[in-house]
Amino acid sequence: MNPATKKIGLIGLGLMGRPMGMHLIKAGYPLTVWNRTASRAEELVAAEAKLAKSPQEVAAASDFLLTMVSDPSAIEAVLWGPGGAMQGLKHGSIYVDSSTVSPALARKIAAACAERGVRFLDAPVTGGDWGAKKGELIFMIGGDAETLKEAEPVLNVMGKKLFHLGPHGAGQTIKLAMNLILALQVDALAEALALVTRAGIQGEKLVEVMQSSMARSGVLDVKAPNLLKGEYVPSFPLRLMHKDLGLALDLANQLGVALPATAAARETYNYVKGAAKEDLDYSAVMQFWKK
């Protein structure tokens, strides 16, 4: 299908939304955008995206709506607040939410969409802003296979892999589980560095051994330099990782599953988030040991 005939709407032009939007424009899709802070739209508008006055206007102008906002309350405002997108969505259109929210909220959105004849997918991503810029995001998808098939060409413009994980909510569940793994991995590296540093050994040596061993992992490759240098430019902000840990623990609480390590890690991230004077990457968890 010729991209030029499929009108895409994008709401949420933050760290992730902007590069995702640029890939859509480069692929030839006509793009309409909206963001709470309008100035974030400048780059995309300069690349010929249309700026709408409200989420509703974006939805009404789209065959395919994509949202990428920070948290459950943001998506609820975008969908159901004044000038919200839900009332503008066209019958027969597709709506994909790539924000990370609770599985329950994903199911609620799916139900509201079904009432309007709109096909919904929860499709949170992993890969950070780096993955978004390279068009190499990994999408974790919940919803039906037919809708996914139709959404594939659009998602493939922004991502390198699509996983269909189950019905609505499944994408979010896997995303939350993924992020708890990442949060714990980075927290574990921070603890290990604190230990060796206090014992008088350079952190670089630990990282070198780790990277030649079975403890090596992609995320630790990317984050280790942050922890060693003490520099935490946000790629995935700590406040968002902290929010995701909260969502994971909420889900576990609802299901009656104990997550002792996740609960403990969240307290460490709590402290660093509270003490931080600016927006930092989640690898700033290392700062717990800087006191």
Partner 1 sequence: MKIGFLGLGDMGQAIVPRLIAAGHTITGWNRTKEKAAPLLELGMLWADTPREVARQSEIVFSIVTDTAAVRSLALGENGILAGLRKDAVYLDMSTIDPDGSRAIAAEFAKAGLVMLDAPISGTTLTLGQGKASLMVAGDKAAFERVLPILLAIGPRVTYIGAQGLAVQLKVAINMTLVIEVIGFCEGVALAEKGGVPREVAVDAMLKSVVASPVLNYRAPLILEGHLSDATYGNVNLQQKDMLLALDLGRKMGVPVPLGAAANEMLNACRGLGLAHHDFVAVYEVYRRLGGMSK
Instruction: Give the C-alpha distances (Å, rounded to integers) separating 216 from 206, 212, 219.
Output: 11, 7, 9
205 is catalytic: no
- Residue of 7, 90, 108, 175 with catalytic role: 175
| Minimum CB distance to partner 1, residue 148 (Å) | 32
Contacts of 109 (CB under 8 A, 6+ apart): 75, 79, 95, 97, 120, 122
Q: Can you give the binding site for partner 1, defined by CB under 8 A? A: 242, 246, 252-253, 255-260, 263-264, 266-268, 270-271, 273-275
Instruction: Give the C-alpha distances (Å, rounded to integers) separating 117 from 39, 79, 111, 113.
Output: 33, 16, 10, 6
| Minimum CB distance to partner 1, residue 218 (Å) | 28
Nearer Cβ to partner 1 (45/263): 263
Give residue for tokens 């395919």. 64
| Minimum CB distance to partner 1, residue 246 (Å) | 7
Nearer Cβ to partner 1 (45/188): 188
| Minimum CB distance to partner 1, residue 228 (Å) | 24
- DSSP annotation of 85 reads S
Nearer Cβ to partner 1 (145/257): 257
Nearer Cβ to partner 1 (18/242): 242
Q: Are 17 and 44 in contact (CB under 8 A)?
A: no
Cα angle 184, 190, 196; round to 5: 135
Q: Are 79 and 86 in contact (CB under 8 A)?
A: yes
Nearer Cβ to partner 1 (80/271): 271
Structural tokens at position 10: 């994008």
Cα angle 122, 125, 127; round to 5: 175
| Minimum CB distance to partner 1, residue 263 (Å) | 4
Catalytic residues: 175
